């Protein structure tokens, strides 16, 4: 299978919020990520299959990535399909209904998608 071409990169350094954002407002594929957690505790990156910005704590994540303290989560894959759109949020707790905001600078995200 031929490798897909990455045409977009979503990059963010966390603010002191849940960092809810719409990455792509239509169907797409996440092809990989480079995420680093600078904090002393695990942080949770939540990806949503939505065509609008997610409401963190209310919407159910499509995928939750746990990033350990001082560690990274790095992967390159053929792609994960998001049929509606791609949204993101960040919390300090794993629960789908968590609204516990990360701190400014806790998380650095580079998400690769088409």
Parallel/antiparallel/unpaired status of strands 72-82 and 63-67: unpaired
Q: How does pLDDT run across 46-93, given as a tens digit for each residue?
A: 999 999 999 999 999 999 999 999 999 999 998 999 999 999 999 999
Structural domain boundaries of the chain? 8-113
Residue located via tokens 């560690």: 71
Distances (CA, A) of 108 to 26, 60, 66, 93: 24, 22, 13, 17
Between vectors from CA 88 to CA 84 and to CA 91, what angle results, nearest 5°? Answer: 140
Q: Is the dihedral of CA 66, 91, 103, 51 positive or negative?
A: positive
Percent of the chain with pLDDT over 70: 95
Is the pLDDT at 41 greater than 50? The verdict is: yes
CATH 2.60.120 is right for the domain spanning 8-113: yes
pTM above 0.85, yes or no: yes
């Amino acid at each position: 299978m031929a490798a897909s071409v990455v045409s977009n990169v979503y990059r963010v350094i966390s603010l002191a919020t849940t960092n809810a954002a719409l990455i792509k407002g239509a169907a797409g594929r996440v092809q990989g990520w480079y995420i680093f957690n600078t904090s002393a505790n695990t942080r949770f990156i939540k990806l949503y299959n939505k065509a609008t910005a997610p409401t963190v704590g209310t919407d159910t994540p499509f995928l939750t990535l746990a990033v350990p303290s001082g560690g990274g989560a790095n992967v390159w894959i053929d792609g994960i399909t998001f049929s509606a759109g791609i949204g993101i949020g960040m919390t300090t707790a794993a629960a789908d209904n968590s609204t516990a905001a990360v701190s400014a600078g806790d998380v650095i995200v580079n998400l690769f998608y088409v």
